A and B are shown apart, each in its own frame.
Chain A
């Protein structure tokens, strides 16, 4: 190959690379409003009030990830509202990093939000593994409490629900799991209910700064994206007894004027269908003495070196486990929802049928056995 040809070839390659590079539409990170969390409320005209926690690269310092701002917009639909976020921020709204979607109380309890679930589950950038939850009060108020946490509200909720919830006996859900639960077989599922709990300011250097924490010990049950009921802490505790991946429940027993706190360390749950069309459920729980800083502890705390848990205490705890579990099962029957996949268990045997999908929870008799051991 002559020198002339070599130079021509190099120029050709350079030109081709330049054309290719230039033609890809610039989606520069600086032109994007990276959304960390979204809150959805019902607006006065029955549209949507969308609150977005936005990180705008280029607006902060090198620690840009820690600086976010809250933007609130209105829109007839979620699509329009997200476009309005772009208008307000002057940047393209990017949902690829969004970790949490919060539904305000009024919105989640009064609206059939099927279109919202469908929008996000079909959104190509929005992660199916993102956390979806509802909240007490409006989502806008919740997001504006981020200052009291001294961190991003979106990250606080996502971290709490993804990394901590299961360790403190709170079940949690992702967008994918929730969307599937609302459309498959019995169409019931749940979302964690987040609420901001104000606390006393103990920081003397910032006496006016509000302080508080986020609690997520309640669940809202939905059927076909419509609100069914709210499960309180006791019922959530009962539900968690059937979920082996969730642990950390604490139970308190009084014996000889001593308060003993035990904590669930391990759980195995065997849910078997029986011949009567119901279920035999065996919950096997391992417990040990709780930490002194565990919740539900009052009065004198049992010494940690007291390794053997008396049989009387174990029996008492087993009874408590049975009580909360049965309380949960009763609410399942009363409000006709299925978070324990009773319908799914029969689908796996019989296949899908409309008769099965329509079968009410009251037609599944349950025999519950609780076994307890020191673990």
Chain B
């Protein structure tokens, strides 16, 4: 089965996904909202994520025997119309996240490497990668992630080391100056960038569980969360009042090294390797968006749904019609509320829904 994946592969991929999107425009946005308290907002966001992830993993454990897919679970537990509505919300999230990621990468390439190109040509290799992910299945992405994981992790660490030594963490004091209410609210209004575990819904039926489910996933989650919080703290400690203006955090952090000032730009190399994780994240989300459409449309295509794949690839052109800022200030700003359903509420209900779906399937089979 081309969508089968082991828990270890899933955990590595999850870690890459957590690291893959949080180091672009998010730190600057949070710094604009909360100043030096932005890292606290990230902690709260990860706190909700951690709770939801535990429930989702519990659901995976329950689903181990029956191997029901997310569509079947939702169909059997909350009815088909609700199931399709939820899948539609998932689809919108995935499409928006892909486009925000691609927009950020496009900007990063332009400003960091001084490479300019048009969007369509920029998209060609991305579309090819996404098509590869959709056509070859989740196992292919997981294997690719597994191969590249070491390199990406080394790059992230290399980018971090020097700024970490330079940062004066005392600048984060006093803690909570922005106000705890505002910090909590921001962690909710910026929740769009979190809940990377949502891809797990779409491989629930293909997860091979040998022994542990919780340990590898929670270790990945812990490492990813710690790195993200650390990056945010380093970012605001280093750049202070300038942080909201530096919309490409990783690019700016990589530059910050007194030692490399007279020795060239090795940060460009490590930054390029790290960007691979962003493209893997795009491929994963493209795969999930395709799965959403496939499930919404039903089994009209036996092997491969060309129409669904074409729609997903077409949505990559969205930034040609609306800038990332427009998307953030309109669709994403108001979409946070419906997104909460699938990002935070659904995982909490997932064990219950899985049990219900299992019971109803057994009854139907009898």
Contacts and interface: CB of A to CB of B under 8 A. Distances in A.
Interface string B237-267: 0111110010010011001111011101100
27 contacts: A16-B128, A23-B117, A24-B116, A25-B116, A25-B117, A27-B113, A27-B115, A97-B265, A99-B261, A122-B245, A127-B255, A127-B261, A128-B255, A129-B257, A129-B258, A129-B260, A129-B261, A131-B261, A155-B262, A174-B258, A176-B256, A180-B240, A180-B241, A183-B241, A183-B242, A349-B173, A351-B174
A147 interface: no
Interface of A: 16, 19-20, 23-25, 27, 94, 96-97, 99, 121-122, 124-125, 127-131, 155, 158-159, 162-163, 174, 176, 179-180, 183-184, 344, 348-352
Given A24-B121, A350-B174, 9 more contacts: A20-B125, A25-B115, A96-B114, A121-B242, A124-B111, A128-B255, A158-B261, A348-B171, A349-B173
Contacts of A25: 115-117
B138 to A, nearest CB: 23
A24 B242 contact: no
B256 A129 contact: yes
B241 A184 contact: yes
Interface string B285-307: 00000000000000000000000
Contacts of A23: 117-118, 121
Contacts of B239: 128, 176, 180
A349 B174 CA distance: 6
B332 to A, nearest CB: 25
B314 to A, nearest CB: 17
B150 interface: no
A159 B262 contact: yes
Contacts of A129: 255-258, 260-261
A122 B173 CA distance: 26
Given A124-B111, A176-B239, A180-B240, A19 B121 contact: yes
B223 interface: no
A27 B114 contact: yes
Contacts of A122: 245
B275 to A, nearest CB: 15
B128 A162 contact: no
Given A23-B117, A129-B255, A348-B174, A124 B112 contact: yes
Nearest to A25: B116
Contacts of A180: 239-242
Contacts of B125: 20
Q: Which 6 A-B pairs have the closest CB atoms?
A: A124-B111, A348-B173, A23-B121, A180-B240, A351-B177, A25-B116
B124 interface: yes
Most A Cβ at <10 Å: residue of B125, B239, B240, B256: B240
B286 to A, nearest CB: 18
Contacts of A349: 173-174
Interface footprint category on B: 35 or more
Contacts of B173: 348-349
B170 interface: yes
Contact of A130 (B124, B177, B261): B261
A53 to B, nearest CB: 13
Contacts of A174: 258
Nearest to B116: A25
A125 B254 CA distance: 12
A176 B260 CA distance: 15
Nearest to A174: B258
B252 A128 contact: yes
Interface string B76-119: 00000000000000000000000000000000000111111110
Contacts of B113: 27
Nearest to A92: B114
Contacts of B257: 129
Nearest to A123: B111
A174 B162 CA distance: 15
A43 B180 CA distance: 51
A158 B264 CA distance: 13
Contacts of B242: 121, 176, 179-180, 183
Contact of B117 (A24, A99, A155): A24
Contact of A125 (B114, B116, B171, B177): B114
Nearest to B267: A127
A38 to B, nearest CB: 14
Contacts of B116: 24-25
B177 A352 contact: yes
A64 to B, nearest CB: 14
A158 B262 contact: yes
Contacts of B117: 23-25
A158 B262 CA distance: 7
Contacts of B251: 124
Nearest to B110: A124
Contacts of A16: 124, 128
Contacts of A127: 255, 261
Interface string B177-221: 100000000000000000000000000000000000000000000
B80 to A, nearest CB: 38
Contact of B114 (A19, A94, A184): A94
A94 B260 CA distance: 17
Q: Which of the listed residues A99, A163, A174, A348 has the most CB atoms from chain B within 10 Å of its own CB?
A: A348
B124 A20 contact: yes
Given A162-B262, A180-B240, A180-B242, A128 B121 contact: no
A20 B122 CA distance: 7
A176 B261 contact: no
B206 to A, nearest CB: 26
Contact of B265 (A19, A96, A350): A96
A253 to B, nearest CB: 34
